[in-house]
Chains A and B, each alone.
Chain A
Amino acid sequence: ETGVTQTPRHLVMGMTNKKSLKCEQHLGHNAMYWYKQSAKKPLELMFVYNFKEQTENNSVPSRFSPECPNSSHLFLHLHTLQPEDSALYLCASSRGGEMNTEAFFGQGTRLTVV
Chain B
Amino acid sequence: DQQVKQNSPSLSVQEGRISILNCDYTNSMFDYFLWYKKYPAEGPTFLISISSIKDKNEDGRFTVFLNKSAKHLSLHIVPSQPGDSAVYFCAARDTGGSNYKLTFGKGTLLTVNP
CB-nearest residue of chain B to A102: B46
User: Given A43-B89, A100-B95, is A56 in contact with B101 using a C-beta cutoff of 8 Å?
Assistant: yes
Q: Which B residues are in CB contact (< 8 Å) with A45?
A: 101-103
Q: How far apart are A95's CB and chain B's nearest CB, in angstroms? A: 9
Number of B interface residues, CB 8 Å? 27
Question: Which chain B residues lie closer than 8 Å to A92 at the CB level?
Answer: 43
Q: Is B59 an interface residue (CB 8 A)?
A: no
Instruction: Say yes or no: A40-B106 contact (C-beta < 8 A), given A90-B44, A107-B42.
Output: yes
What sequence of 0s and 1s flags, for each residue 82-93 of chain B, a beta carbon within 8 Å of any chain A beta carbon?
Answer: 000000010101
Interface residues on A, range: 20 to 34
Docked pose: A99 CA to B99 CA in angstroms:
9
Besides the known contacts A42-B106, A103-B46, A104-B45, 9 further A-B residue pairs in the complex with CB atoms under 8 A apart:
A35-B104, A43-B91, A43-B104, A55-B98, A55-B99, A96-B100, A100-B49, A102-B34, A108-B43
Q: Residues of A at under 8 Å CB distance from B?
A: 2, 4, 6, 31, 33, 35, 40-43, 45, 48, 50, 55-56, 90, 92, 94, 96, 99-100, 102-108
Q: What 10 A-B pairs have minimum CB-CB distances, sorted nearest first?
A: A105-B43, A99-B95, A43-B104, A102-B46, A55-B99, A42-B104, A56-B99, A107-B43, A42-B106, A105-B44
